[in-house]
Structure 1
């Protein structure tokens, strides 16, 4: 049975957090197809990991926490990551996971042990950073994670689901964006379902 590694990082609870809700849609679709599979779950905001220190960095794979995180990543057939945009980049809690899990000679190095694992990233954001918008070029989530996974983890299959304008319902000045927000939200959930189905099908045994 396949294993899904599910990492939430939003500071907001389900029902309030767009990334958590879209992540839940993906996971629900995945589990419907693999009800006996394994899900490794970490709430990086609810139970944050410690930031990397010099001693822990030096210990590498000998550090129990880093070894555990590396093992969880290695076990995963698919990795599902919430990376809501906070101040133009990823949450510090997600960055702590990245720093801890990048064990030299195991996760990164000449033969990265999780190379080739598909990754799905849900990156919600309050505004829009698409080409042609006023904030075009301000997105430091998608380029960072794309480069990081390809350059260090040996992971080139990284799919981004990007619900935008999540602050529109909360700000009267952006009320004209509510329609675009609703469309983006619907599309994000649809994309989560589609991607979960596609990835789950890779691990479904066919008769004969």
Structure 2
């Protein structure tokens, strides 16, 4: 989504259409979900610290609340990180139990998780720009109804770049192959403990990967 990419395309590839990769869009949604989780985790930490202070003041024993799966509230929020990245159909039984407790306690987090799933489904299900545009409009409405500020930021970012995002549905183009090759180059560079002779490094790359 960087402005310098748009400038490079205008100057060097005048007949090309910029496609903002779906990975970057979905990452924004996942980050918004994690922001909600982290906010609740800090609140739980503050509440526990206040309860400990109050117990000391009253000279009583502080007992943490332990949930049915053996987690405390802090542990529940910390250990729920990875399940919020996954589709609910891929959860293990432990993750299902944890998610049930999490969403029961924090319904707003459940809304955020569902919004991230709906955004991902647009890229999976839609076959044309028109269909995707309609589904995105409905998703915007869901974001407004949910009133989650982190997702409002995501929706504003998508709205600002929606033309380039919708270009994905022309050929369902992604930069997955480029990302894969970039990972190979980084791994190769790491095995060499860095690069001093750039020309020789590029020569070796061309011989191995060309």
TM-score by length of 1: 0.28
Q: Judging by fraction of residues, say which structure has more strand.
A: 1
Larger RCO: 1 or 2 (CA < 8 Å, sep 6+) = 2
TM-score by length of 2: 0.28
